[in-house]
Amino acid sequence: MLTRDACTALDAQDPLADLRAQFDLPTGRIYLDGNSLGALPRSTAPRLQQVVTQDWGQGLIESWNTANWMTWPQGVGDKIARLIGAAPGEVVAADSTSVNLYKVLSAATRIQRLAQPAHHVLLSQRDNFPTDLYIAQSVCAAAGWRLELAEAAAIPARLAAGDVAVLMLTHVNYRTGALHDMAALTAQAHAAGALAVWDLAHSAGSVPVRLHAADADFAVGCGYKFLNGGPGAPAFVWVHPRHADAAQPLSGWIGHAQPFNFTTHYEAAAGIHHYLCGSPPILGLAALDCGVDSVLAAEPLGGMAALHAKAGQLGDLFMRLVDERCAGLGLDAASPRDAAQRGSQVSLAHAQAWPVMQALIAHGVIGDFRAGVDGDPDLLRFGFTPLYLRFVDVWDAVETLADILGSRSWDVPTFHARKAVT
């Protein structure tokens, strides 16, 4: 059996341990929800203070030029590109993941209407994150396409049927943390005449992503999870250069080739720039820039590969300790046992997942609850952000979990009561 001291020793040897000092973390809590909202980098508050009081307050309108605000979507995008296997100039930070997905799916329908006019199926995974499915439903309705949902294992066979126009997947599953093989699935999609659209919400800043190496077609992702950009941070969008001229329908003035010529007719800017729409959200971009920097700080220490490896070790430790200490207490692993098949999260099924999670939170272990739909189980979800989590945190979290389950202290009305959840 492992001991707490052994976990402390793992932290002492951890080459990534110093990255934790980048963050302001609440005392007395173990934060295992960085997959939902990343922690606050220490650089963010002073940066925002500077942007607000100096750039905006003193510079006012001139800061669009003097502080280069207009270039921030590309500037932050270039940093994100380093995390996802894209090239400089191919990514912009803008809008929300949902809005960006609407842009790329709409562009994909325009491409495929010409390239594969007989393909009318948008294929996705049954337990993909709901907003992806909702946006896909809207795009399919407009295009006269059909949205089909398959279990992960059935996707290759469904592709082979030959009528899929677009395969849209989230790289890391939001419920289970299961990681798709982006290169293999993209190749299968291409072989079937389909385009591959990837949502990197749970993989950007969490696992190595190699968009060009996988030959992906489009990607979107989220700024407020593993990129630590803050609540509701701007999202990002990437388009393979071979598709960069495909029109997308949110043709706002910031995506115009010459926005300040004020011409009446839209002329799309080159490359990824026409995926910009409205004026850049400067406060959100400043915070996102700090968050992305907190991930890029791992570059000299092995970058995303090192971060994912540590996340895997944290998750492996968690699963091992849960096996050892919570046996017979109603938990079932809902995530892959092989860390190479997982993002930076581990989920556990429990019939009383809601009150158990409320009890954990009350005891300072912050994970989250995800309701099961379509027969899937309710889940306890735990994110293992390697930038700021320690092995000893994992020990302490499992200790609390074992205590709560063993004592059934979750089974009181307070913890059963439902409230708004995120």
Q: Are 222 and 84 in contact (CB under 8 A)?
A: no
Catalytic site residue 82?
no
Cβ neighbourhood burial of 305 (10 Å; 0-12, 13-18, 19+): exposed
Shortest separation between residue 246's beta carbon and its own copies, angstroms:
14
At its nearest, how many Å lie between its own copies and the CB of residue 271? 18
Question: With binding defined as CB under 8 A, does residue 69 bind its own copies?
Answer: yes
Q: Is 200 in the site for its own copies (CB under 8 A)?
A: no
Give yes or no for a contact between 221 and 203, defined as CB atoms under 8 angstroms apart: yes
C-alpha distance from residue 296 to each of 20, 121, 146, 207 (Å): 13, 38, 40, 13
Q: In this chain, which of 259, 271, 303, 377 binds its own copies, going by CB under 8 A?
A: 259
Query: Residue 55 carries which DSSP code?
Result: I
199 labelled catalytic: yes
Q: Which is nearer to its own copies, 44 or 352 (CB)?
A: 44
Q: Looking at 23, 31, 102, 129, which residue is catalytic?
A: 129
Q: Which of 17, 150, 183, 250 binds its own copies (CB under 8 A)?
A: 250
**367 — phi, psi (to 5°)?**
-115, -160
| CA–CA separation, 325 and 110 (whole Å) | 54
**Of these, 287, 295, 348, 405, which contacts its own copies (CB under 8 A)?**
287
Interface with its own copies, residue 88, by CB under 8 A: no
What is the size of the binding site for its own copies (CB under 8 A)? 90
User: Are the C-beta atoms of residues 410 and 331 closer than 8 Å to each other?
Assistant: no
> Any contact of residue 323 with its own copies (CB under 8 A)?
no
Q: Which is nearer to its own copies, 102 or 410 (CB)?
A: 102
- 93 lies in the site for its own copies, by CB under 8 A: no
Q: CA–CA separation, 255 vs 123, rounded Å?
A: 29
Among 225, 310, 370, 390, the one annotated catalytic? 225
Q: Active site includes 102?
A: no
Q: What whole-number distance in Å separates Cα of residue 189 and Cα of residue 196?
A: 6
**407 in contact with its own copies (CB under 8 A):** no
Q: Which of residues 222-241 bind its own copies (CB under 8 A)?
A: 224, 230-235
Q: Which of 1, 265, 328, 413 binds its own copies (CB under 8 A)?
A: 265
* 127 contact partners, CB below 8 Å, separation of at least 6: 173, 175, 176, 373, 374, 376
Q: Which residues in 371-400 contact its own copies (CB under 8 A)?
A: 371, 373-374
CA distance 411 to 365: 17
| Residue closer to its own copies (CB basis): 183 or 250 | 250
Q: Which two tokens stand for residue 155?
A: 């996707």
For residue 185, give both structure tokens: 């699935």
Q: Of 184-192, 259-267, 309-317, 319-327, which part binds its own copies (CB under 8 A)?
A: 259-267
Among 210, 275, 221, 200, CA closest to 243: 275
Task: Please report whether residue 137 would count as binding its own copies according to CB under 8 A.
Answer: yes
For its own copies, the binding residues in 100-129 under the rule CB under 8 A are: 102, 126, 129
Length of the chain: 422
The residues in 36-65 that bind its own copies, with binding defined as CB under 8 A, are: 36-37, 39-40, 44-45, 48-49, 52-53, 55-65
Work out whether 266 is an interface residue with its own copies (CB under 8 A).
yes
Provide CB contacts within 8 A for 180, sequence distance 6+: 152, 169, 170, 171, 172, 173
> Beta strand pairing status for 218-221 and 40-41?
unpaired
* Residue 210 falls in the annotated catalytic set: no
Q: What is the CA radius of gyration of the chain?
A: 22
Q: Is 368 in the site for its own copies (CB under 8 A)?
A: yes
In angstroms, rounded to a whole number, what is the distance separating the alpha carbons of residues 387 and 385?
6
Q: Active-site residue 225, yes or no?
A: yes
Residues β-bridged to residue 150? 125
Q: Which is nearer to its own copies, 186 or 347 (CB)?
A: 347
Identity (one letter) of the amino acid at 344? S
CB of 49 to its own copies, least distance (A): 6
The least CB distance from residue 330 to its own copies, in Å, is 22
Q: Of the residues 20, 325, 381, 390, which is catalytic?
A: 381
**Least distance in Å: CB of 158 to its own copies?**
16
Q: Which residues are catalytic?
A: 129, 199, 224-225, 381
